[in-house]
């Protein structure tokens, strides 16, 4: 089970290796040749000496002309030790496999992306023995996909967008479009992608919104992450007592989600709207309001026509 943002940011490429070449071509504009075959490799770069070195994700991409090794590193913050280990990884892989290694760094931080993109130059100034130029995927170049049609056309890229940009005022539209895209995938892939997104959402309101969206998608509830969510629900239910108490608790949580979406988007909520939402116990109506809250310009529009 994926448990951290670090793991999700690189393991998504193990789940969908083709997404990596797509990111190189479409996001970074690198003229990387289309692979005939792409496969995951052992990430352990440890030598006989007791020094353990592991890359996050390692893929082998077979193209018409040659074979490339795609080294994916998930980076949460700046770490100057990487400026020593990354050149080591590339040199070791080239020596061991006799293939061209390519370093790709993925991050959710603009500052970290700027740091990671700086060339690593080793040797005499003006006559460097080794220069490493990482390719960096981050919030400044991964596209923001808010349109449902775009997300459905390219679900894996939409998932990467949500993992990179899943916070702030754009989050509601991004997560809603991804949820629609996941409905077009097979259940196993969709459940895995759903968990990748969940693991990368640091904002508690965004995470709650995502889990709320996922309650309507049956395959999500067969995934290990869903068991965690269900257990939380069962615990709440035990505290409430009976089924009726659980239903009331779900309605209250859903109502709070509706209000949180409006507040998160910076839309003032009048006392009359707040009272109406919190008094509602109809889960279907609350779900409809949650969807509407992602788009309305005024809180009064939430109840229009009711």
From residue 183, alpha-carbon distances to 51, 153, 155, 214, 228 in Å are 45, 12, 10, 10, 21
Inter-residue contact 55 to 88 (CB < 8 Å): no
pLDDT value, residue 120: 95
pLDDT value, residue 51: 46
Say whether 49 sits in a helix, a strand or coil.
coil
Inter-residue contact 8 to 196 (CB < 8 Å): yes
Q: Which residues contact 41 (CB under 8 A, 6 or more apart)?
A: 58, 59, 60, 69
pTM, two decimal places: 0.66
Phi, psi (5° rounding) for residue 23?
-65, -40
Say whether 37 sits in a helix, a strand or coil.
strand
CB neighbourhood size of 135 (10 A): 20
d(CA 86, CA 102) in angstroms, rounded, equals 11
d(CA 144, CA 147) in angstroms, rounded, equals 9
From residue 49, alpha-carbon distances to 45, 46, 52, 53, 93 in Å are 11, 8, 8, 11, 16
Query: What are 77-110's pLDDT values in tens digits?
Result: 999 999 999 999 999 999 989 999 999 999 999 9
Give the residues of the chain that fall short of pLDDT 50.
Answer: 1-2, 48-51, 221, 230, 242-243
pLDDT value, residue 269: 86
pLDDT value, residue 172: 85
């Amino acid at each position: 089970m994926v448990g951290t943002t670090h793991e999700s940011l690189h393991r998504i490429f193990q789940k969908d290796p083709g997404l990596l070449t797509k990111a190189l071509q479409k996001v970074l504009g690198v003229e990387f040749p289309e692979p005939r075959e792409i496969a995951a490799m052992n990430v352990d770069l440890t030598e006989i000496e007791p020094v353990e070195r592991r890359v996050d994700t390692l893929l082998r991409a077979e193209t018409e002309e040659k074979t490339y090794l795609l080294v994916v590193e998930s980076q949460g913050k700046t770490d100057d030790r990487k400026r020593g280990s990354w050149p080591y990884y590339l040199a070791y892989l080239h020596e061991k496999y006799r293939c061209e290694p390519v370093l790709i760094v993925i991050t959710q931080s603009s500052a970290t992306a700027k740091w990671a993109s700086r060339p690593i130059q080793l040797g005499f100034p003006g006559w460097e023995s080794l220069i490493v130029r990482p390719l960096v995927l981050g919030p400044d170049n991964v596209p923001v996909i808010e349109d449902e049609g775009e997300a459905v056309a390219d679900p894996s890229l939409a998932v990467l967008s949500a993992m990179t940009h899943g916070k702030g005022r754009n989050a509601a539209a991004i997560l809603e479009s991804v949820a629609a895209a996941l409905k077009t995938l097979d259940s196993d892939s969709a459940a895995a992608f759903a968990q990748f997104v969940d693991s990368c959402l640091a904002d508690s309101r965004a995470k709650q919104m995502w889990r709320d969206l996922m309650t309507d998608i049956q395959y999500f509830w067969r995934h290990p992450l869903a068991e965690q969510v269900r257990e939380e629900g069962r615990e709440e239910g035990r505290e409430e007592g009976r089924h009726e108490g659980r239903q009331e608790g779900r309605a209250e949580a859903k109502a709070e989600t509706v209000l949180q979406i409006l507040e998160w988007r910076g839309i003032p909520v009048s006392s009359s709207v707040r009272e109406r939402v919190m008094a509602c116990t109809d889960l279907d109506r609350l779900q409809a309001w949650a969807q509407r809250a992602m788009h309305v310009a005024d809180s009064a529009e939430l109840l229009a026509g009711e």
